[in-house]
Structure 1
């Protein structure tokens, strides 16, 4: 479907989305990873504590830091960011989900983040981070008793979309990357590989055990390396999927990424093509401070309103997880 968000539809979504909204608590913690460095984690959750503007780097979010968690048997959504990102990349989506009654945990992927991209080509390490994040939320986090372990979802963007697909049972064939890159030398993934000759040491197929059966539904936005799952690398994926593609994605262009995933999924996903959007429009709308230092990820096409899009995106994500995790 084409997502054009007419004014009337947008107003309806906002009204539905806001009806049960509540304040949001927030914690910034670290979670153990026995096979690597501790993981930086952001956690958003329902709270009745009074929120306040909290600057974090070049963004400001209105949350109640360390506010008491409200609710019982709350569903959990974990989020995986794209290459060079951080746990804050989708903070607006995290807040929207927390307002709707979800606990949301996001991770900064070790060696593939804004401060350190030394392991960005070792993409098969990322699913482990997600499993360790879920372990932490269910076993060590102070609010663990208020999470329903049977209702866990995942949201992933770009490399995080790839991470999501592997975490839910996808088996990529990374031997396809070399031949693909010989034909598409300007592709973002191919340029990344070219900068990292150590990529040849990366595993060519998924490790056994990458799938995390605790994840029951997933939102996948602009997935990286989608072509590595064709034709049957997603045959074991049997949970509900919402798949999003930016119509004018110049970073992961059509039809080798989201479209390849759509065709390889054994069951048709809920599919959204966002008209006039670019790759980075899935990131939270940029502050003036962030736009001044990172215009590449903050600039949208003329006529595209990223803030309005995120209002409808976040509402749609909430509706999807309400349908798939709260039944």
Structure 2
């Protein structure tokens, strides 16, 4: 695996020599969707761009140039935004990809009103419509061949990625998982609302959470999503306990996993490890970070002073984890998509 990501880094460096910066634009969503943020190879120079708490180096609305002709869609985690995936997007752009990030309705930083199964039903179609939005843009469409598209997702976005791989899930399976493992996987069942602290309130928290879950999630419909344009996907620290693991035993497209050994938000044995056990050598373990927790998928990480205590506990880096390893993980992800999407060579100049 190591020689592959080195190859990807070399290819990225060679491509960077022919482009000036990482372009940034925002497209209107289709059918009432939120905006689609797009990073792309550009002839413009990177300049400081402020987005929320992040100062980024990007070429805002600069001219687009052709890279390798391939599109990657990043589906953000619950309550997420595009900016916490900027480092991966820049690595993909350096290798020639265009990267699009849809805003998932009711489960984003501006509107976190309907996370969980309600959002998971909508998310895959929102990804497909983001591809359509890029295909309709007169600046980007001529530079892309959309017969092979990649999807990357972390956490709730990882759930979306698994749906594209052929995974079938249901709200009823979510309920069943929480009924069986509410204490061991509490944050997966309730999100970033509260945590268990080993005190007298824990029993009340578990009782109330299960009462809500039983009331809302009885639907046993098996949900999945197929878009023939999507040919490779990577799920990073995914929520996966509500999938029928038999549906992921033989992924219908190339499937990669990124895992974190100290993930307390999606406990690996119920989620990422269960997927790996199901697909075995029919999927690729792109990267494993034994000392990382759930927030390793976020790069750059939001400033900790903007996170509440629950978010810090579930997303914060464990003591001793060094974020300097994340560029290598990004390079492995780039390499996975480069192999499976077969990027096209840039036209001769």
Structure 1 pair 156/9, CA: closer, same or farther in 2 (3 Å)?
closer
> Which residue is 1:59 aligned to?
54
Contact 1:83 1:112 in 2 (8 A): yes
**1:60-89 CA-partner distances (Å, limit 9, x unpaired):** 211111111111661000011111111222
Q: Using the alignment, how far apart are the partners of 1:11 and 1:132 within structure 2?
A: 34
Structure 1 pair 211/292, CA: closer, same or farther in 2 (3 Å)?
same
Q: Using the alignment, how far apart are the partners of 1:43 and 1:141 within structure 2?
A: 14
Q: Using the alignment, how far apart are the partners of 1:60 and 1:317 within structure 2?
A: 24
Contact 2:232 2:340 in 1 (8 A): yes
Structure 1 pair 16/109, CA: closer, same or farther in 2 (3 Å)?
same
Please say if 1:69 is aligned against 2:64.
Answer: yes
Q: Using the alignment, how far apart are the partners of 2:42 and 2:218 within structure 1?
A: 42
> Which residue is 2:266 aligned to?
252
> Which residue is 1:223 aligned to?
238
Q: Using the alignment, how far apart are the partners of 1:67 and 1:101 within structure 2?
A: 16
Q: Structure 2-normalised TM-score?
A: 0.81
> Match for 2:254 among 240, 261, 277?
240
> Which residue is 1:125 aligned to?
122
Please tell me whether Structure 1 or Structure 2 has the larger radius of gyration of its CA atoms. 2
> Match for 1:179 among 176, 179, 187?
176
> Which residue is 1:205 aligned to?
221
CA positional deviation for 1:195 = 8.9
Structure 1 pair 92/202, CA: closer, same or farther in 2 (3 Å)?
farther
Please say if 1:312 is aligned against 2:308.
Answer: no
> Match for 1:291 among 298, 304, 321?
304
CA positional deviation for 1:275 = 1.8
> Which residue is 1:190 aligned to?
189
Please say if 1:24 is aligned against 2:37.
Answer: no
> Match for 2:111 among 100, 112, 116?
116
Structure 1 pair 152/10, CA: closer, same or farther in 2 (3 Å)?
closer
**1:165-191 CA-partner distances (Å, limit 9, x unpaired):** 112321113322222212322421212
More displaced, 170-179 or 53-62? 170-179
Unpaired runs of at least 5, structure 2: 192-207, 344-349
Q: Using the alignment, how far apart are the partners of 2:4 and 2:67 within structure 1?
A: 32
Q: Looking at secondary structure, tell me which structure has more helix per residue.
A: 2
Q: Using the alignment, how far apart are the partners of 2:266 and 2:227 within structure 1?
A: 26
Contact 2:24 2:59 in 1 (8 A): yes
Q: Using the alignment, how far apart are the partners of 1:294 and 1:135 within structure 2?
A: 34
Structure 1 pair 120/314, CA: closer, same or farther in 2 (3 Å)?
same
> Which residue is 1:41 aligned to?
36
Contact 1:229 1:264 in 2 (8 A): no
More displaced, 139-148 or 57-66? 139-148
CA positional deviation for 1:267 = 5.0
CA positional deviation for 1:298 = 6.0
Structure 1 pair 220/323, CA: closer, same or farther in 2 (3 Å)?
same
Contact 1:170 1:236 in 2 (8 A): no
More displaced, 278-287 or 147-156? 278-287
Unpaired runs of at least 5, structure 1: none
Contact 1:75 1:147 in 2 (8 A): yes
